[in-house]
């Protein structure tokens, strides 16, 4: 399940990506928090995690705030979720980046649970890693256009 922290991270990045499209380079934490209805203190910690991973940068001063370090088409949803929530696998033995065998497992190569969860992990990773912030924004615009 996607954590609230990861959901807020994505919402904040979508806001920054949208403003990037509109020509604005950075946004204040308070502005993102208000626009996306995210508690400011919680958002501060999230943006710091994203900055420490190289997804965002920050500037001080009158025109300061947070901004995307890369363009929206270079940041995948999967990358963001991994930064905030960790590996995508539902169980550690199905993870590529944080593999840990189960204590009770007799044979990791033939374990039906592990094999099934690896398929789930691979399908999930395929979708999330191939979907960028730009793709998600395009989808949102198209669905809004369709409803109107």
User: Taking 70 as the threshold, does the pLDDT of residue 113 lie above it?
Assistant: yes
72/148 Cα distance (integer angstroms): 25
pLDDT of 3-20, one tens digit each?
999 999 999 999 999 866
**SS3 state of residue 115:** helix
Q: Which stretch of 59-68, 70-79, 104-113, 139-148 has the lowest confidence by average pLDDT?
A: 139-148
Average pLDDT of the residues of the chain? 90
Arithmetic mean of pLDDT, 39-60: 95
| Rg (alpha carbons) of the chain, rounded to whole number | 18
Tell me the pTM. Answer: 0.86
**Do 51 and 66 form a contact (C-beta atoms < 8 A)?**
yes
Question: How confident is residue 122, by pLDDT bands cut at 50, 70 and 90?
Answer: very high
Arithmetic mean of pLDDT, 49-55: 97
128/143 Cα distance (integer angstroms): 19
Q: Which residue has the tokens 């604005």?
A: 24
Candidates 81, 75, 66; CA nearest to 24 is 66
For the domain made up of 1-75, give the CATH fold.
Answer: Arc Repressor Mutant, subunit A (1.10.10)
């Amino acid at each position: 399940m996607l954590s609230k922290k990861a959901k807020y991270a994505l919402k904040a990045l979508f806001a920054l990506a949208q403003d990037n499209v509109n020509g604005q380079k950075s946004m204040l934490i308070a502005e993102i928090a208000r626009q996306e209805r995210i508690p400011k203190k919680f958002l501060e910690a999230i943006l710091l995690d994203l900055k420490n991973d190289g997804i965002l940068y920050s500037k001080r001063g009158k025109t300061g705030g947070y901004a995307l370090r890369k363009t929206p088409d270079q940041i995948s949803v999967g990358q963001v979720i991994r930064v905030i929530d960790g590996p995508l696998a539902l169980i550690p033995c199905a993870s590529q980046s944080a593999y840990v065998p189960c204590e009770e497992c007799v044979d990791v190569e033939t374990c039906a649970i592990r094999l099934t969860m690896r398929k789930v992990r691979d399908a999930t990773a395929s979708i999330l890693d191939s979907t960028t912030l730009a793709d998600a924004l395009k989808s949102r615009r198209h669905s809004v256009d369709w409803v109107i």
